[in-house]
C-alpha cells in the first residue's frame, strides 16, 4: 500500500463527495445549501488540483484538466455568491446559477474519480 | 509536453501551494466561526469574504488593521495563532518560488529552449561544432568568412561564457550540454535537412568515433569531420562511411615526405591553404641523417617515412620506449633530448636536420638553441604548441615551424567551406615534382605570384548563359571562359585547375567541353574572376567570347524585322 496513493485518492473522492453534498437539494432554496460546504468543497478541490500536478502521463494530463474545470466552476460559484450578497441582489436566478455551477463542478469531479478508479483497476501492482 | 520549464516550476511549487491553501483555509474557517462584536455590542460573524480579505492582508504581512469592527479577545487569540501559521506558509511559498526560478535544471531548460529555437530559425546550411577550443574558434571564424552558419556545444558552462565574450560568437547558438548524448545532438539540429556537417575534434578520440556512429544512425546525410591519430579508431571511423578522419600527425608527416621529394607540390599546397604566395625557389629538404625529438604517434609516422626514403634517423625520447631492434641499431636513445651530451650522442654534428616535436614549447626552444650551437648548419623543424610563444619562436630563426592545431584548422575548414579546392589539393598531392614545377611555373608566368582561386558551377543559377547554351545542344569548351571580353582572341590571366563531374576529375583541363553539373576550379587574377562570371551568366558576353561577334538581341530582331 502506498501512502501517497491513499492521500491523493482521499482528496479526489472527498472533492467529489463534498461537492455533491453542497449540490444536493432544491436548486432555488438557499436553506438547503450551506455556504460552509461550498467553502470546503472549493478548498478540497484546490488541494486535489495541486496533488495532480507533476504527473506527466497522458492520464495525468486529463486528470489535471478535470480538476481545473472543477476549480473554475466552484470559483465562479463563490464569486457569484459573494458579489450578489454584498450588492444585496440575491434572488432565485442568482442562486440557481450558483447551484448549477457547482453541479458542473460535480460532473468534472465524477469524471476525475472515474478515471482515477479506472487507472487503479488497470494497474498490475 | 514540450514546455518543460513551466512544469518544473509547477512541480517544485506543489508542497508550498498545498501549505498555503491549507493554512489559509484553516485561518479563514476559524475567522468565520468565531463570533465577534459590532459597535453596538451585538454579536456578529465575519462573512467568508471578510475573512478571506483579512487573512489575505494578514498573511502577506500588509496588515491594514482589524476590520470591519475591532476584534474581540477570542478573535485575537485565533488571529495570533493564524499569524504564525499563515505568515510562515506564505514565506515558505515565496522562498520556494525564488529557488525554483533560480534552479539549475530550470535555467538549463530555458537555455535549451532558446537554443532549440535559434537553431531551428537558421535558414541556410549550418555546421555543428563540438567543444570550444582555440582550434574550433579559428574554424568558426573561417566559417563566418565564407558565410556558413555554426552551432556550438560545450559541456563546460565556463567555456561557453568565455566564448560569448568573443566577437565570433554573434549569431552562433550555443548550449551547455554533453555532445555524446543523442538528445543534445537533436537539440543542435542534427536531424534538420540544412545541417551539413558536424566537427568533432575531441582529444579523447573515442568520443569522435562515438559521435560518428551516433550521427550515422541519426542522420546519415550529415558529414562528420573527426580527429583521429590512432589507427584502429581511424579504421572504425571510415567504416561509418560518413566520417572524414583528420590526423594532423599524418598530414604533417606527408608534408615532410613531399618536401623531401617534390617541394613544388608543397609550394602549391601552401598557396592553396593561403599560407604563402607561390614562391619560386622551392627547396628540397636536405638528404641525410635526421634527429627527431619525441617518439610518440607522430615520431612513429616520421620513422616509417624516413625508412621509405632510406634516410638515417635517430629518435630521442625520455618517457617512451621503442622496439629492441631500434635500440640495438642505435636508432633510439632513451634520454632527455634537452641535453648537450644526448644530442652529441645522437650525432647532431653530422646530422642534416632536426625535428623537435615534444609537447613543451620551452623544451623545444631550448633543444633548438643547443643544437644550433653544436651544428650551425642544421635544418630546424620545430613544433609549436601554444600561441603564447609566437614571437620567441619567430626570433629563434627556425627553418620550418609547424603547429598541429593550425593544420587541423586549415584542413577542417577547407574540407567544409571549399570542397572543390580540397579535392584539387588531394589530387595534386599524388603528383610528382616535375608536374608541380610545371604548374608553379605556368601559374607564375600566366598570372603572378599570388593568384586567387575561384570556382564555377554549371547550373541555371550560377551560370545561366552556359547552361542554356549547353541545353540547346552547343558545345562549350572550357577555354571560352578564359577569353578576354575586350578582345576575344586574347586570354585573360586565368588557368583552369580542375573540372569535377560525376565520375570524372580532369586536372588542368584544356579544350574540354563542359557538361551540366560540372564544377570548375580556376586560378586567376581579379579581372579574370569578374570576366569568368560575366561570360558564364550573360548570353551576349558568352556569344562574343565564343564567336567574336555581337549577338543580336532577339527582341530587337523581331521589332526591326
Question: Does B14 score more than 80 pLDDT?
Answer: yes
Among A residues 73-112, those touching chain B with beta carbons less than 8 Å apart: 78, 82, 85-86
Question: Does B545 score more than 60 pLDDT?
Answer: yes
User: What residues contact residue B43 under an 8 Å CB cut-off, 6+ apart?
Assistant: B35, B36, B37
Distance (Å) from the alpha carbon of A123 to chain B's nearest alpha carbon: 23
* Structural domain that includes position B372: 286-416
For residue B436, tell me if it sits in a domain. Answer: no
pLDDT at residue A70, as a whole number:
96
Which of A43, A53, A61 lies at the smallest CB-CB distance from B21? Answer: A43
Across the A:B interface, residue pairs with CB atoms under 8 Å apart total 38
Model confidence at B30, in pLDDT bands (50, 70, 90)?
A: very high
Q: Do both B216 and B134 map to the same domain?
A: yes
Q: Per-residue pLDDT tens for A84-95?
A: 988 888 788 889
Q: Per-residue pLDDT tens for B316-374?
A: 888 877 777 787 777 888 888 888 888 888 888 888 999 998 888 888 888 888 888 88
Q: How many domains, in total, are found in chain B?
A: 4
For residue B298, tell me if it sits in a domain. Answer: yes
| Distance set, CA A20 to CA A106, B21, B61 (Å) | 6, 21, 36
For residue B195, tell me if it sits in a domain. Answer: yes
| Distance set, CA B296 to CA A124, B407, B556 (Å) | 60, 18, 74
Q: Per-residue pLDDT tens for B495-524?
A: 889 999 888 888 888 888 888 888 899 998
For residue B421, tell me if it sits in a domain. Answer: no
Q: Do both B295 and B372 map to the same domain?
A: yes
Q: With contacts defined as CB-CB under 8 Å, which chain B residues touch A54?
A: 7, 10-11, 14
For residue B442, tell me if it sits in a domain. Answer: no
Q: Which of B133, B139, B131 is nearest to B386 (CA)?
A: B133
Q: Evaluate whether B428 touches B436 at the Cβ level (below 8 Å).
A: yes
Q: Quick one: closest CA in B to A81, which residue?
A: B49
Give the residue, A20 or A2, on which the prediction is more confident: A20
Question: Does B389 score more than 70 pLDDT?
Answer: no
Q: Do both B340 and B406 map to the same domain?
A: yes
Question: Does B312 score more than 60 pLDDT?
Answer: yes
Helices (H) and strands (E) counted in chain B, each on its own, are 24, 18
Distance (Å) from the alpha carbon of B15 to chain A's nearest alpha carbon: 8
User: What does DSSP assign to residue B522?
Assistant: E
For residue B159, tell me if it sits in a domain. Answer: yes
Q: Do both B456 and B534 map to the same domain?
A: yes
Q: What are phi and psi of B175, to 5 degrees?
A: -145, 145
Average pLDDT over residues B107-123: 89
Specify which residues B224 forms β-bridges with: B198, B243
pLDDT at residue B541, as a whole number:
84
Domain boundary among B70, B101, B132: B101
Distance (Å) from the alpha carbon of B27 to chain A's nearest alpha carbon: 12
Average pLDDT over residues B201-227: 89
For residue B272, tell me if it sits in a domain. Answer: no
CATH number at residue B473: 3.30.70.1450
Average pLDDT over residues A3-19: 91
- Give the residue from A54, A78, A83 with the most B CB atoms within 10 Å of its CB, the best one to mutate: A54
Please indicate if any CB of chain A lies within 8 Å of the CB of B45.
Answer: no
Nearest-angstrom CA–CA distance, A82 and B256: 91
Nearest-angstrom CA–CA distance, B397 and B418: 33
- For chain A, domain boundaries: 3-122
Cβ A56–B32 below 8 Å, yes or no? no
pLDDT at residue B416, as a whole number:
83
Distance (Å) from the alpha carbon of B114 to chain A's nearest alpha carbon: 22
User: What residues contact residue A117 under an 8 Å CB cut-off, 6+ apart?
Assistant: none
pLDDT at residue B1, as a whole number:
40
User: In the predicted model, what is the mean pLDDT of chain B?
Assistant: 86
Q: With contacts defined as CB-CB under 8 Å, which chain B residues touch A51?
A: 14, 18
Distance (Å) from the alpha carbon of A114 to chain B's nearest alpha carbon: 24
Q: With contacts defined as CB-CB under 8 Å, which chain A residues touch B18?
A: 47, 50-51
Nearest-angstrom CA–CA distance, B413 and B136: 10
- Give the residue from B24, B32, B49 with the most A CB atoms within 10 Å of its CB, the best one to mutate: B49
Q: Evaluate whether B490 touches B483 at the Cβ level (below 8 Å).
A: yes
Question: Does B557 score more than 80 pLDDT?
Answer: no
Question: Does A83 score more than 80 pLDDT?
Answer: yes
CATH number at residue B37: 1.10.287
pLDDT at residue B3, as a whole number:
65
Which of A36, A54, A85 lies at the smallest CB-CB distance from B14? Answer: A54
Cβ A53–B21 below 8 Å, yes or no? no
Q: Do both B464 and B412 map to the same domain?
A: no
Question: Does B144 score more than 80 pLDDT?
Answer: yes
User: What does DSSP assign to residue B513?
Assistant: B
Nearest-angstrom CA–CA distance, B22 and B172: 48
Distance (Å) from the alpha carbon of A17 to chain B's nearest alpha carbon: 18
Q: Evaluate whether B82 touches B27 at the Cβ level (below 8 Å).
A: yes
Write the burial class of residue A81 (CB in 10 Å: 0-12 exposed, 13-18 middle, 19+ buried): buried
User: In the predicted model, what is the mean pLDDT of chain A?
Assistant: 89
Return the residue matching grid coordinates 545561366: B464
Q: Do both B78 and B145 map to the same domain?
A: no
Q: Do both B154 and B42 map to the same domain?
A: no
pLDDT at residue B129, as a whole number:
92
Which of B1, B14, B29 lies at the smallest CB-CB distance from A50? Answer: B14
This model of the complex carries an ipTM of: 0.85
Write the burial class of residue B537 (CB in 10 Å: 0-12 exposed, 13-18 middle, 19+ buried): middle
Question: Does A102 score more than 90 pLDDT?
Answer: yes
The x, y and z cell numbers of residue B52, run together, are: 478571506
Cβ A54–B10 below 8 Å, yes or no? yes
Average pLDDT over residues A94-110: 93
Q: What percent of chain B has pLDDT over 70?
A: 98
For residue B527, tell me if it sits in a domain. Answer: yes
pLDDT at residue B280, as a whole number:
61
Which of A35, A39, A50 lies at the smallest CB-CB distance from B17? Answer: A50
Q: Evaluate whether A22 touches A102 at the Cβ level (below 8 Å).
A: yes
Amino acid at each position: 500500500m502506498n501512502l501517497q496513493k491513499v492521500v491523493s485518492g482521499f482528496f479526489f473522492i472527498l472533492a467529489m463527495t463534498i461537492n455533491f453534498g453542497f449540490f444536493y437539494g432544491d436548486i432555488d432554496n438557499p436553506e438547503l445549501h450551506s455556504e460552509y460546504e461550498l467553502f470546503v468543497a472549493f478548498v478540497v478541490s484546490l488541494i486535489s488540483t495541486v496533488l495532480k500536478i507533476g504527473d506527466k502521463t497522458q492520464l495525468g494530463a486529463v486528470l489535471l484538466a478535470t480538476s481545473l474545470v472543477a476549480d473554475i466552476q466552484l470559483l465562479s460559484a463563490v464569486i457569484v455568491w459573494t458579489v450578489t450578497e454584498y450588492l444585496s441582489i440575491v434572488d432565485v436566478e442568482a442562486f440557481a446559477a450558483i447551484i448549477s455551477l457547482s453541479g458542473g463542478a460535480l460532473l468534472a469531479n465524477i469524471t476525475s474519480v472515474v478515471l482515477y478508479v479506472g487507472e487503479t483497476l488497470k494497474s498490475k501492482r | 509536453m514540450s514546455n518543460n520549464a513551466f512544469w518544473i516550476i509547477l512541480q517544485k511549487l506543489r508542497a508550498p501551494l498545498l501549505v498555503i491553501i491549507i493554512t489559509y483555509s484553516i485561518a479563514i474557517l476559524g475567522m468565520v466561526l468565531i463570533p465577534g462584536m459590532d459597535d453596538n455590542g451585538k454579536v456578529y460573524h465575519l462573512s467568508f469574504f471578510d475573512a478571506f480579505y483579512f487573512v489575505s492582508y494578514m498573511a502577506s504581512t500588509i496588515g491594514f488593521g482589524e476590520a470591519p469592527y475591532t476584534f474581540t479577545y477570542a478573535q485575537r487569540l485565533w488571529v495570533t495563532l493564524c499569524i504564525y501559521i499563515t505568515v510562515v506558509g506564505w514565506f515558505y511559498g515565496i522562498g520556494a518560488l525564488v529557488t525554483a526560478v533560480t534552479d539549475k535544471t530550470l535555467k538549463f531548460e530555458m537555455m535549451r529552449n532558446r537554443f532549440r529555437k535559434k537553431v531551428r530559425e537558421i535558414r541556410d546550411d549550418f555546421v555543428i561544432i563540438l567543444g570550444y577550443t582555440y582550434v574550433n574558434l579559428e574554424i568558426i571564424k573561417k566559417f563566418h568568412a565564407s558565410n556558413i552558419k555554426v552551432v556550438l556545444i560545450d559541456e563546460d558552462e565556463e567555456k561557453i561564457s568565455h566564448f560569448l565574450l568573443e566577437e565570433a560568437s554573434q549569431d552562433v547558438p550555443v548550449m551547455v550540454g554533453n555532445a555524446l548524448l543523442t538528445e543534445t545532438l537533436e537539440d543542435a539540429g542534427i536531424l534538420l535537412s540544412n545541417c551539413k556537417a558536424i566537427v568533432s575534434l575531441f582529444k579523447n578520440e573515442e568520443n569522435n568515433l562515438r559521435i560518428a556512429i551516433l550521427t550515422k544512425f541519426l542522420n546519415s546525410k550529415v558529414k562528420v569531420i573527426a580527429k583521429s591519430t590512432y589507427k584502429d579508431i581511424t579504421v572504425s571511423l571510415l567504416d561509418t562511411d560518413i566520417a572524414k578522419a583528420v590526423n594532423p600527425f599524418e598530414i604533417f608527416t606527408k608534408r615532410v615526405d613531399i618536401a623531401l621529394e617534390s617541394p613544388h607540390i608543397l609550394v602549391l599546397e601552401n598557396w592553396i591553404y593561403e599560407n604563402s604566395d607561390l614562391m619560386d625557389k622551392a627547396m628540397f629538404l636536405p638528404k641525410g641523417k635526421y634527429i627527431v625529438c619525441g617518439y610518440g604517434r607522430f615520431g612513429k609516422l616520421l620513422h616509417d617515412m624516413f625508412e621509405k626514403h632510406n634516410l638515417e634517423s635517430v629518435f630521442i625520447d625520455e618517457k617512451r620506449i621503442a622496439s629492441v631492434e631500434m635500440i640495438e641499431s642505435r636508432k633510439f636513445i632513451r634520454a632527455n633530448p634537452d641535453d648537450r651530451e644526448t644530442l652529441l650522442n645522437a650525432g647532431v654534428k653530422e646530422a642534416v636536420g632536426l625535428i623537435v616535436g615534444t609537447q613543451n614549447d620551452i623544451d623545444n626552444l631550448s633543444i633548438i638553441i643547443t643544437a644550433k650551437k653544436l651544428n650551425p648548419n642544421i635544418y630546424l623543424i620545430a613544433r609549436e604548441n601554444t600561441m603564447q610563444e609566437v614571437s620567441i619562436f619567430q626570433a629563434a630563426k627556425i627553418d620550418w615551424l609547424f603547429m598541429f592545431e593550425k593544420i587541423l584548422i586549415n584542413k577542417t575548414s577547407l574540407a567544409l567551406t571549399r570542397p572543390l579546392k580540397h579535392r584539387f589539393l588531394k589530387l595534386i598531392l599524388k603528383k610528382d615534382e616535375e608536374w608541380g614545377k610545371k604548374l608553379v611555373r605556368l601559374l607564375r608566368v600566366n598570372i603572378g605570384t599570388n593568384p586567387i582561386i575561384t570556382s564555377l558551377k554549371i547550373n541555371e543559377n550560377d551560370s545561366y548563359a552556359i547552361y542554356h547554351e549547353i541545353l540547346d545542344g552547343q558545345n562549350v569548351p572550357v577555354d571560352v571562359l578564359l577569353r578576354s571580353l575586350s578582345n576575344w582572341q586574347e586570354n585573360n590571366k586565368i588557368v583552369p585547375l580542375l573540372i569535377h563531374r560525376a565520375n570524372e576529375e580532369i586536372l588542368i583541363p584544356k579544350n574540354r567541353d563542359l557538361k551540366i553539373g560540372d564544377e570548375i576550379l580556376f586560378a586567376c587574377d581579379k579581372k579574370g574572376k569578374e570576366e569568368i562570371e560575366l561570360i558564364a551568366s550573360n548570353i551576349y558576353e558568352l556569344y562574343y567570347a565564343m564567336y567574336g561577334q555581337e549577338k543580336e538581341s532577339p527582341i530587337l530582331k523581331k521589332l526591326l524585322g
